[in-house]
């Protein structure tokens, strides 16, 4: 093995003699010694001008360069970590912890695709947020610029986000109904969890009740009736047409979406549960929105289809009043005082059908009874809503307990007066009353007489 000496500095060591061949170097300094450098060597004073400074300078330069490089690397890493994926240069990386999902033929989007659709989840595309997710408006360029709503589940430390994502994705793909939100696709990449839905032009019911913008028209009475019926159909489908039944568990105005025709679409199935086969009750962790939760579920965690019925009752009152769920506790008192008109949303400016108003209030009070067994089913509610005003007669004994005697007397007197006007005092140009009308009105007469009898009052007889 051959060693080559590059630098030799032996200055001022008081050395003498001939320099060995081994110590011959390209850079040397032998000043201050008595050395014999040989006939072919350069002068023994050497070719290094500084006895120590150059070496120290070299070390400083090397250390400075290394330190500078380390600082640059650290700054670059910090910038890259803080900088979002601008201009969509991020590559799609499979999530090594991806959940196992059974979504059939549901379309799977790449994260890159959804970032383009939402402008990299920009603030301008932001629609709203819940406890576990934020929603952004997006456009799918490869699908004729189709407008979509992208639900991006927020990152939390526990498995709550993943479970909510998995539950919503697997549950909501099952029902196929015009009044239930349809899942377009999903994404699971780089620890992201996203669901893609159709965009609803009129946003949510809550935005049209309590979130009205200046000069924005209020929901008219016909639209409110249509919304109440649409959500009733959705819940009836989940409870009676899905096998096993599905419980939504989070019925509220914010989860009722409105399409371009103001048709109600039930969304947000993050808390939904599929009932066990043959069972009517499922015990779960208590989750939901205060004010909409049924008392038995709030106290025990036991949920059933009647849990959704209770939430629907609160929702119906919200449709009528335009106020939040806290207001429903005042409705019974106002009805007992004979003031149903004070319940209605003032934005309607009295433009509503009184008989339909009474119908919705009745349904709401039936649905929000403390005892779950006394609440109607959703199929019964649909029948109530679809029945003609002159035909619906249900829960009269309960209704007699829920409202005050003065208001019932006023209602009964109105029915009797109608009978009197049609049966006893026809105007000269009036049309004859059909047998069907008489039969319908006769039923209301019997209803009025029955209520009077139960209350111990004198029944008024109307002769033909």
The residues that are catalytic are 250
Q: Are 136 and 125 in contact (CB under 8 A)?
A: yes
Q: DSSP states of 293-313 as a string? A: S-HHHHHH-EE-HHHHHHHHH
| DSSP-assigned letters across all residues of 113-167 | HHHHHTTTT-GGGEEEE-SSEEEEEEEEGGGTTEEEEEEEEPP-SSTHHHHHHHH
Nearest in space to 153 (alpha carbons), one of 145, 143, 144, 162 = 162
Is the Cβ–Cβ distance between 107 and 94 less than 8 Å? no
* Strand residues in 239-308 grouped as ranges (E): 246-247, 256-258, 264-266, 273-274, 282-283, 302-303
Residue 459 parent element (H or E): none
Residue in the block written with tokens 């047409």: 241
Long-range contacts of 206-213 (CB under 8 A, 24+ apart): 206/252, 206/253, 206/254, 206/256, 208/258, 209/253, 209/318, 209/319, 209/322, 209/323, 209/345, 210/253, 210/322, 210/323, 210/324, 212/347
Strands (E), 10-145: 16-18, 27-29, 34-36, 107-108, 126-129, 133-140
């Amino acid at each position: 093995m051959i060693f080559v000496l590059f630098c030799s500095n032996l200055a001022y060591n008081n050395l003498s003699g001939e320099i060995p061949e081994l110590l011959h170097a390209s850079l040397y300094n032998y000043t201050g010694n008595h050395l014999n450098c040989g006939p072919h060597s350069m002068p023994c004073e050497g070719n290094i001008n500084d006895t120590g400074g150059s070496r120290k300078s070299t070390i400083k330069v090397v250390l400075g360069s290394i330190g500078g490089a380390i600082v640059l690397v650290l700054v670059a890493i910090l910038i890259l970590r803080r900088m979002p994926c601008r201009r969509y240069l991020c590559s799609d990386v499979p999530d090594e912890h991806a959940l196992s999902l059974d979504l059939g033929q549901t379309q799977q989007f790449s994260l890159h695709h959804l970032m383009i659709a939402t402008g990299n989840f920009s603030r301008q595309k932001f629609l709203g947020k819940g406890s576990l997710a934020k929603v952004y408006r997006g456009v799918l360029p490869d699908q004729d610029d189709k407008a979509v709503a992208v639900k991006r589940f927020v990152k939390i430390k526990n498995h709550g986000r993943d479970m909510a994502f998995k539950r919503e994705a697997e549950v909501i793909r099952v029902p196929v109904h015009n009044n239930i939100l349809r899942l377009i696709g999903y994404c699971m990449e780089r620890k992201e969890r996203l669901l893609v839905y159709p965009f609803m032009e009129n946003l949510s019911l809550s935005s049209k009740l309590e979130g009205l913008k200046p000069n924005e028209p209020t929901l008219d009475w016909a639209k409110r009736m249509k919304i109440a019926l649409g959500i009733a159909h959705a819940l009836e489908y989940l409870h009676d047409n899905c096998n096993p039944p599905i419980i939504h568990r989070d019925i509220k105005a914010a989860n009722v979406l409105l399409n371009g025709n103001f048709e109600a679409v039930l969304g947000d199935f993050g808390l939904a549960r599929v009932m066990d086969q043959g069972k009517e009750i499922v015990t779960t962790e208590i989750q939901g929105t205060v004010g909409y939760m049924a008392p038995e579920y709030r106290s025990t965690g036991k949920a059933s289809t009647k849990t959704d019925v209770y939430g629907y009752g609160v929702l119906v009152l919200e449709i009528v009043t335009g106020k939040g769920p806290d207001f429903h506790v005042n409705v019974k008192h106002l009805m007992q005082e004979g003031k149903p008109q004070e319940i209605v949303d003032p934005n309607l400016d009295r433009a509503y059908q009184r008989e339909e108003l009474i119908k919705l209030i009745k349904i709401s009070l039936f649905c929000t009874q403390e005892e779950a067994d006394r609440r109607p089913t959703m199929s019964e509610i649909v029948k109530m809503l679809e029945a003609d005003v002159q035909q619906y007669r249900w829960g009269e004994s309960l209704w007699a307990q829920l409202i005050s005697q003065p208001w019932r007397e006023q209602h009964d007197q109105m029915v009797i007066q109608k009978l009197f006007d049609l049966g006893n005092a026809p105007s000269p140009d009036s049309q004859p009353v059909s047998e069907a009308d008489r039969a319908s009105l006769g039923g209301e007469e019997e209803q009025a007489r029955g209520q009077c009898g139960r209350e111990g009052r004198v029944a008024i007889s109307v002769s033909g």
